[in-house]
Structure 1
C-alpha cells in the first residue's frame, strides 16, 4: 500500500506581510509557468490575514502604473507587473501603508 503525504497549510492570526519581492528580469521559463508578460518586472506580495491582499492590490494599483495579474484572497497573494521602477514604487507603498496605518509587521522590499 502506497503511503500518502498530507500537506496542511495554515494561516496564523497575525497581521503581517511575509514577502514583498521584485523580480526585475526573471528567466523566461518562469513567465511561461505563471502565464505573465516576459518583458516586464514581477512583484510578489504574500500576507496574512489573507483578505488584506485586496487592500494591497488597490494600494499598489493607485501608487504606480502597474497591472494587477493575480489577487488570491484565500491565500493572501498578489502578483503585479510593470516596469521595474513602477513595481518597486507599488511594493514600497504597500509596505509603508501596512506598516504605518495598519500596524502590520512588514519586511523590506527585496529584489532579484
Structure 2
C-alpha cells in the first residue's frame, strides 16, 4: 500500500538538513504562480435575491439604469488570464448575452441573459477551449 505524506512531511524529507538548521528562524517564502492552460470555473445560476446583481455591480458603469434582476448569470475563470478575452468573444458570438464583467488581469468573466442563452454561451466557451485551444476544462455547474 502506498504511503501518503503531507506537504510539510515532503518538504522536510526533501530539505531535511536545511530544515534542521532553519527551525525556529524566520523564513521568507516566495510563491510563484505559473498559470496553465485551463478553464477551471464555469457556473450558471439564476439568483433569487436581487442583491446578488447589485453586489456583482451589474447596475453601474455601462449598465447604469439597467435592471438585470431575474436574468441568468454565467461566471467563468481561465488561465492564462488574457485568454478571457477569447472566452468573451466566443460567448457573445454564441448567444445573445451581455458582458457584465470581464477582467483580463484575473481571468474572470460574468455574462447575463436568458437561461438558454447563457447556457449556450458557456457551453460554447467550454467546448472551444477544450476542442480548439486544448485547455483543461471543468464541468459546467448549474444551480
Please indicate the TM-score interval, normalised by the length of the shorter structure. 0.7 to 0.9
Query: Greater RCO between the two (CA within 8 Å, min separation 6)?
Result: 1
The structure in which a higher percent of residues are strand is: 1
- Tell me which protein shows more helix as a share of its residues: 2
Match of 1:47 among 46, 61, 78: 78
TM-score by length of 2: 0.69
For residues 37-57 of structure 1, what are the alpha-carbon distances to aligned partners after superposition, in whole Å with 9 as ceiling and x for unaligned? 112100001110000000000
Contact kept, 8 Å, 1:24 with 1:111, in 2: the verdict is no
5 Å-filtered alignment, 1:85-104, equals 85-104=116-135
Unaligned runs of 5+ in 2: 1-29, 59-67
> Which stretches in structure 1 are left out of the alignment for 5+ residues?
1-7
Among 74, 99, 113, the residue aligned to 1:82: 113
TM (normalized to structure 1)? Answer: 0.87
> RMSD in angstroms over aligned alpha carbons?
1.7
Q: Are the counterparts in 1 of residues 46 and 73 from structure 2 also a CA contact under 8 Å?
A: yes
